[in-house]
Amino acid sequence: MKMNIAILPGDGIGPEIVSQALQVTEAVCKKFGHDLTYKHALVGACAIEQTGNPYPDETHELCMQSDAVLFGAIGDPKYDNNPSAKVRPEQGLLGMRKKLGLYANIRPVTTFETLIHKSPLRTDIVTGTDLMCIRELTGGIYFGRPQGRSEDNNVAFDSCVYSREEIKRIVELAYKYARQRKKKVTIVDKANVLCTSRLWREVAQEIEKQNPDITTEYMFVDNAAMQLIQWPNRFDVIVTENMFGDILTDEASVITGSLGMLPSASIGLHTSVFEPIHGSYPQAAGKDIANPIATILSAALMFEYAFGLMDEGRVIRTAVDESIKAGVVTEDIASGDKSYKTSEVGKWIKEYILNK
Ligand code: IPM
Ligand code: MN
């Protein structure tokens, strides 16, 4: 198959982890005989520094022409500590999501048996967790207008906005995936307080009626945050709005032992983007210590979701499992003193794929 992808490493550890995922992608293409072409482009703080724009037009053009985008991370403490900065790296990510129409962010959460002891939760709670969080990505409070300050600068406001259409397409997607999984959908909202959440529930109830083979439950987000760590394996597909999904998936990621393990797929109207759910981890940038697994598993999702190549995805996942079993892991998930560098983990996984 011809595969044309855009590589957007971004900031911090982004370049290091993306280059590992790219090598793994190349290895898989070589093994299965796919014709891979790719180009790099700027996004985030590095794009601001070089062009003044966190998501330059050139980068957008490249993404639009690509079958898929492999993305690292964006963000720089320089901007975090300066709330009055007019241009911010995060605007690059949000602009990209909006312009590419990436309305669904899929974040699968599964445990690795060999890492269960790393979880802050008890083994009996965590064992068997296999859930998928579907986060709405182009609406809600992240994008709602009006947003800003009062004239006297003493009041700030954001708006949470959702249309029926935006809710419908994402809730329908949740049912589609639940049907291929354990046939349960949990709709997370705050319908006891928020008007947008009441619209979510109204629309979801209509879709629920059309899907009688799927079990539906409605849960307030505060309760969901609690149940997620008390009883994570009660969930199958969770679907929720943008900000609730942002928060719940960071929480869900620690269930598995490390934030460095969780991949994501953002799908939508024009192309799809694959990225780890963790951030740019600036303290580790350039040190070759960051965990590349979330990005490598994002490449696995790319084969599956963007190209429908299920065996290729499976091969990557198996190689990652084997690297963990062999103890070839970065310091965040290592047991004992021995840990490996980012590049050593990537190389091990790549070679496992090529030699198997
Ligand atoms: C994520 C990140 C982003 C978000 C930030 C960097 C804007 O936390 O992808 O989860 O909030 O969506
Ligand atoms: Mn987040």
Return the half-sphere exposure (C-beta side, CA atoms, 13 A cut-off) of residue 244: 26
Does ligand 1 come within 6 angstroms of the Cβ of 246? Answer: yes
Q: How confident is the model over 217-276, as pLDDT tens digits? A: 999 999 999 999 999 999 999 999 999 999 999 899 888 888 889 999 999 999 999 999
Q: Name the residue among 110, 119, 112, 89 with its Cα closest to residue 14.
A: 89
Q: How confident is the model at residue 84 (pLDDT cuts 50, 70, 90)?
A: confident
Q: Name the residue among 100, 46, 82, 72 with its Cα closest to residue 290.
A: 72
Domains of the chain: 1-102+261-356 (3.40.718.10), 120-255 (3.40.718.10)
Pocket residue to mutate for ligand 1, from 93, 259, 264, most atoms within 8 A of Cβ: 93
CA of 89, nearest ligand number: 1
Q: How confident is the model over 281-301, as pLDDT tens digits? A: 999 999 999 999 999 999 999
107 has binding-site annotation: yes
How many angstroms is it from 337 CA to the middle of ligand 2?
Answer: 30
* AA identity, residue 195: C
How many angstroms is it from 87 CA to the middle of ligand 2?
Answer: 19
Going by alpha carbons, the residue nearest to atom 10 of ligand 1 is 246
Report, as residue numbers or ranges, the catalytic residues.
142, 190, 222, 246, 250
Measured on CA atoms in the order 139, 190, 181, 204, is the torsion positive or negative? negative
Least confident of 54-63, 113-122, 164-173, 241-250: 113-122
Q: Which atom of ligand 1 is nearest to the CA of 137?
A: 12
